[in-house]
């Protein structure tokens, strides 16, 4: 006889299936009208991560694949628009695919004058409005835009909160390499972090209220507190984590997990844990579910590496006098030592 808990989960999963299919059709319909659909995909992805707690593994995998198909559709659409802009004399296709146009991103990423830059830091003073420069709209009815960092190489990025830091939003990191991305100043405003195609990069984030997903990434180190964590199609990733549910990896290898580094557990981090509702909840960073390993033996694709959290190099992330290259060399996975 099924338990009451399993019956509730089954009903919730059924309701979510109906919701997901409805939203997917809405997104496809809006795409056909040439509307910006990025915010709709982000919202659906965020809802999916929240539903992981009761969705069966098969449904999780299937819904995630559907999200990937929608993202591919968005990628194709923006690439096509970019090519059209180039053909018409515009600059929209110059930087390749972005969830926002090149001009929209440039407004939210300002490089300090050369006299000030020693570690090549970038600062984001504000969030975008969720619309593209072509005037097609798509920002949603009054919805705050996401923090978006895209197409960045060899920079030290420090995110700055916007004037209204009481509104929660998402953060998108896309096509970033050889960089440091410090999201701690905006962590308390984030409900989700989505990373795509990240290479040779360090990402630091305090506690956030929702989920974090990393896809198609290689040789990265990620530090964050989160309710749900998922890693897909990635290799050589170190994750220093406070997570109140089982982390999930899929189609990934060379993954190492550890607790959040103690040297980075500042008063701001503790406050962020309170804001995100994570403080006092058990940290399950070491109870990883590998969706591609169903045997009784331990998965060869990941292991716990507690020593990462005690590495003295972590103090360098707050030392602006140190070059970015030295920080990355000290804190990114080493290929020879991370191989399975």
Q: Where are the domains of the chain?
A: 4-87, 102-338
User: Cβ distance 80 to 91 under 8 Å?
Assistant: no
pLDDT classification of 166: cutoffs 50, 70, 90: low
178: left (phi over 0), alpha (psi -120 to 50) or beta: left
Lowest mean pLDDT across 18-22, 33-37, 327-331: 33-37
- Angle of helix 4-32 relative to helix 38-51, nearest 10 degrees, comes to 170
Q: Which fold has domain 102-338?
A: Pectate Lyase C-like (2.160.20)
Residue 128 is encoded by which pair of tokens? Answer: 């975008």
What's the predicted TM-score (pTM) here? 0.64
Bigger pLDDT: 154 vs 4: 154
Paired strand residues for 224: 241
Percent of the chain at pLDDT > 90 equals: 30
- Angle of helix 38-51 relative to helix 57-87, nearest 10 degrees, comes to 170
pLDDT classification of 151: cutoffs 50, 70, 90: very high
pLDDT over 90 (residue 199):
yes
Q: In whole angstroms, how large is the CA radius of gyration of the chain?
A: 20
**Averaged pLDDT for residues 287-296:** 86
**Averaged pLDDT for residues 39-45:** 85
pLDDT over 90 (residue 277):
no
User: Cβ distance 175 to 192 under 8 Å?
Assistant: no
User: Cβ distance 37 to 43 under 8 Å?
Assistant: no
Percent of the chain at pLDDT > 70 equals: 74
Which pLDDT belongs to residue 7? 65
Which pLDDT belongs to residue 300? 94
pLDDT over 50 (residue 124):
no
Paired strand residues for 180: 156, 202
Burial of 88 (0-12, 13-18, 19+ CB in 10 A): exposed
- Angle of helix 57-87 relative to helix 4-32, nearest 10 degrees, comes to 10
DSSP H or E run through 77: helix 57-87
**Averaged pLDDT for residues 40-66:** 82
| Residue reference for tokens 């809802």 | 47
Bigger pLDDT: 163 vs 38: 38
User: Cβ distance 123 to 116 under 8 Å?
Assistant: no
Tell whether the torsion through CA atoms of 27, 228, 300 and 339 is positive or negative. positive
Bigger pLDDT: 69 vs 6: 69
- CA-wise closest residue to 331 among 313, 319, 315, 318: 313
Rounded to an integer, what distance in angstroms lies between the CA atom of residue 131 and that of residue 41? 14
DSSP H or E run through 212: strand 211-215
Bigger pLDDT: 126 vs 243: 243
Bigger pLDDT: 233 vs 280: 233
Lowest mean pLDDT across 48-52, 102-106, 231-235: 102-106
Average predicted confidence (pLDDT) for the chain = 76
- CB atoms inside a 10 Å sphere around CB 217: 26
pLDDT over 50 (residue 100):
no
Residue 135, Cα to own-chain centre: how many angstroms? 27
Which pLDDT belongs to residue 210? 85
User: Cβ distance 237 to 217 under 8 Å?
Assistant: yes
> What does each C-alpha distance from 300 to 2, 93, 193, 251, 294 come to in angstroms?
34, 42, 27, 12, 11
Ranked by mean pLDDT, which of 2-6, 14-18, 32-36, 239-243 comes out on top? 239-243
Cα dihedral value 328, 330, 333, 339, nearest 10: 140
Bigger pLDDT: 120 vs 37: 37
**Averaged pLDDT for residues 175-183:** 95
pLDDT, tens digit, for every residue of 55-71?
A: 887 788 788 888 888 88
Rounded to an integer, what distance in angstroms lies between the CA atom of residue 189 and that of residue 168? 5
Which pLDDT belongs to residue 266? 77
Lowest mean pLDDT across 48-57, 167-176, 222-231: 48-57
pLDDT classification of 290: cutoffs 50, 70, 90: very high
Bigger pLDDT: 321 vs 183: 183
Lowest mean pLDDT across 42-56, 81-95, 120-134, 150-164: 120-134
Q: 226 by DSSP, 3-state: which?
A: strand
Q: How do 121-124 and 110-111 pair as beta strands?
A: antiparallel
Rounded to an integer, what distance in angstroms lies between the CA atom of residue 23 and that of residue 210? 20
Paired strand residues for 230: 213, 248
Q: How do 121-124 and 147-153 pair as beta strands?
A: unpaired
Residue 154, Cα to own-chain centre: how many angstroms? 19
pLDDT over 60 (residue 84):
no
Paired strand residues for 182: 158, 204
């Amino acid at each position: 006889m099924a338990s009451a808990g399993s019956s509730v989960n089954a009903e919730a999963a059924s309701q979510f299936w109906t919701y997901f299919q409805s939203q997917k059709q809405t997104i496809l319909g809006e795409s056909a009208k040439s509307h910006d659909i990025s915010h709709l995909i982000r919202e659906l992805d965020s809802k999916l991560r929240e539903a992981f707690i009761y969705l069966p593994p098969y449904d999780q995998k299937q819904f995630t694949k559907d999200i990937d198909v929608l993202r591919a559709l968005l990628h194709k659409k923006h690439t096509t628009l970019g090519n059209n802009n180039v053909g018409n004399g515009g600059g929209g296709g110059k930087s390749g695919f972005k969830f926002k146009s090149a001009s929209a991103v440039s407004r939210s990423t300002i490089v300090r004058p050369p006299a000030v830059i020693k570690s090549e830091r970038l600062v984001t003073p504000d969030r975008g409005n969720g619309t593209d420069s072509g005037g097609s709209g798509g920002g949603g009815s009054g919805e705050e835009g996401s923090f978006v960092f895209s197409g960045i190489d060899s920079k030290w990025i420090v995110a700055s909160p916007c004037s209204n830091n009481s509104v929660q939003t998402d953060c998108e990191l896309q096509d970033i390499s050889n960089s440091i991305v410090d999201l701690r100043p905006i962590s308390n405003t984030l409900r989700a972090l989505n990373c795509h195609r990240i290479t040779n990069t360090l990402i630091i984030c305090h506690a956030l209220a929702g989920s974090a997903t990393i896809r198609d990434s290689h040789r990265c180190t990620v530090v964050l507190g989160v309710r749900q964590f998922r890693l897909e199609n990635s290799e050589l990733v170190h994750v220093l984590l406070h997570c109140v549910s089982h982390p999930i990896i899929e189609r990934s290898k060379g993954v190492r997990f550890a607790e959040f580094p103690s040297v980075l557990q500042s008063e701001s981090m503790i406050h962020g844990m309170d804001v995100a509702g994570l403080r006092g909840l058990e940290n399950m960073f070491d109870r990883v579910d590998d969706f591609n390993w169903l045997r009784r033996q331990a998965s060869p694709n990941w292991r716990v590496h507690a020593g990462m959290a005690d590495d003295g190099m972590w103090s360098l992330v707050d030392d602006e006098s140190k070059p970015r290259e030295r920080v990355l060399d000290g804190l990114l996975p080493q290929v020879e030592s991370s191989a399975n």
